[in-house]
Structure 1
């Protein structure tokens, strides 16, 4: 990145956050602190009102904004693709908002840029993702609660069909395995919890504000939540070709290791439920095999026996 682009990007960074330290700017742009100080000085000389507060960081005065900016072709195309994805995985509320934002972006593009964006939007889709992601009607209020640091009051049904009311302090939203989750501090349980949005019966945005949790990192929390204490490690074998490709694709981020073997792949993964993974393995037939644990091998055998009994009953009832 050349210096002109970096100066502009630093201004956008300052505009997007209440306060930024010199070290954060240096890390973001991978430059030295000395370079950061020179750049901030250059911005001040150019008329950008950078405010420096000792021991706190740098900021722009409240209400200060850069004039409308132009997007590069790559930036505009990336936003167009993002709008397509959000329309599919974000539901009507977020999808409509993304479409509205795309219209505004198109309004400041050149005629050629507008034509390219329209053409790209028509030529991009999400194929094979099935029905719309459930629970997206709750995504917009969740996003608002996170951004405004507001308490959410949930009427929630657990996976065990237990219904409860609880106040939560939202910290993030996650799309995982084609389901949206709200990550929040649950006041009822006094612990971090993840709430599947399609299990929310009703949701109310409460006026109460919650304090910032500056040390909370959503990605680190998710990694910690998906550790071996909460999941089971399984070792599976899949035949080369379609079976192995499908397994890696569908297991996704739960795959810990994939080792090429003669005629196939040995995959180590962390899974939430042995009964689920046993049922998931059935369509692979002889193209898959459980290496460990023994409990999963037994679970697969039970599923096969139950399936055989089911089809046996059906055959006996046929005329």
Structure 2
């Protein structure tokens, strides 16, 4: 058997195991995992059918094994089943690519023997638990457990949430949709009935949490959808142009990339720096103030007003 045939055999076997690990999976998900085309995946699935494996395809859901054609289920607690999804996410983030792939393959074999309800729970958590950074301060185990259980059971929760600068925590009724780690903090996204909108909450600011008896009122989109939307919103840029004397323009080199620096143009006596910044102008203004005794703002006018307002307030306090 050639190396190509062995690779194909291992992929088909892995697909078979993966079909047992969750109720539905699409050809595109298979293609993404094995880095092949969907056409190749359809051929692999056809090979399974030719080998006597009964497959079922439902538009919009994907492929599944016909009910009953599965490894006898092993009894796991709900918490043990959910830990599979989280362990796989952590391994994908912290381990090297090869080890992560092998661990994922092993986890698919473990998940293949779960009962139907546990598979549904694991599949749900896999889509609602994301990790972005590589350093971590662990959230409260009890709090995390309540959040995960709420998302799986679709039961509303109540929290006591203390915002920065507030001495008292506010009560919030929420429908959580996902947990993620970003910029050294754990967060969760939820629909907040107080604000009647989706909000993200920093987990270390939650001072109390409890489940209610009320079921979710809405079928929410995935966590990834909300985070992608947020990313697009924060990527909106503002064009800023600043001019500074040649003798001091090099001072702008410090940290300018963090403020969206694009290019510089050398004029007769000055250097014009162009930024496309995603940072709110009130923060850009405070950075500019370090150079404001020599530099000038060409545009936008709003930035000039913000700088002038900051300076006016500073003068009033002298």
Give the shorter-chain TM-score range.
0.5 to 0.7
Query: Are 1:248 and 2:254 matched, yes or no?
Result: no
Query: Are 1:182 and 2:188 matched, yes or no?
Result: yes
How many angstroms apart in 2 are the aligned matches of 1:303 and 1:290? 15
1:154 aligns with 159
CA RMSD of aligned residues (A): 4.9
| Alignment counterpart, residue 192 of structure 1, candidates 190, 193, 198 | 198
How many angstroms apart in 2 are the aligned matches of 1:52 and 1:141? 35
**Cα offset, 1:270, TM superposition:** 2.9
2:64 aligns with 59
How many angstroms apart in 2 are the aligned matches of 1:287 and 1:218? 43
2:136 aligns with 89
**Cα offset, 1:73, TM superposition:** 6.1
- Equivalent runs, 1:134-145 vs 2, <5 Å: 141-142=146-147, 145=150
**Cα offset, 1:3, TM superposition:** 2.5
- Equivalent runs, 1:1-319 vs 2, <5 Å: 2-4=7-9, 6-7=11-12, 10-11=15-16, 13-14=18-19, 17-26=22-31, 29-33=35-39, 35-43=40-48, 51-55=55-59, 56-59=61-64, 61=70, 74-76=97-99, 86=134, 88-91=135-138, 141-142=146-147, 145-146=150-151, 149-158=154-163, 161=166, 163-175=169-181, 178-206=184-212, 210=216, 212-213=219-220, 217-223=225-231, 225-226=233-234, 233=238, 235=240, 237=242, 243-244=252-253, 246-249=255-258, 258-262=261-265, 265-271=273-279, 273-282=280-289, 290-304=297-311
Mark the CA change 1:221 to 1:294 in structure 2 (over 3 Å): closer, same or farther.
same
Equivalent residues of 2:172, 2:193 under 8 A apart = yes
Equivalent residues of 2:137, 2:184 under 8 A apart = no
Mark the CA change 1:165 to 1:89 in structure 2 (over 3 Å): closer, same or farther.
same
- TM-score relative to the length of structure 1: 0.55
Mark the CA change 1:75 to 1:166 in structure 2 (over 3 Å): closer, same or farther.
same
Which of the two has higher C-alpha Rg?
2
For structure 1, which segment, 157-166 or 187-196, has the greater mean C-alpha deviation from structure 2 after superposition?
157-166
> Relative contact order: is structure 1 or structure 2 higher (C-alpha 8 Å, sep ≥ 6)?
2
How many angstroms apart in 2 are the aligned matches of 1:240 and 1:3? 59
Unpaired runs of at least 5, structure 2: 75-91, 104-129, 266-270
Mark the CA change 1:188 to 1:269 in structure 2 (over 3 Å): closer, same or farther.
same
For structure 1, which segment, 12-21 or 301-310, has the greater mean C-alpha deviation from structure 2 after superposition?
301-310
Equivalent residues of 2:241, 2:300 under 8 A apart = no
Instruction: Count residues in correspondence.
Output: 250
How many angstroms apart in 2 are the aligned matches of 1:302 and 1:63? 71
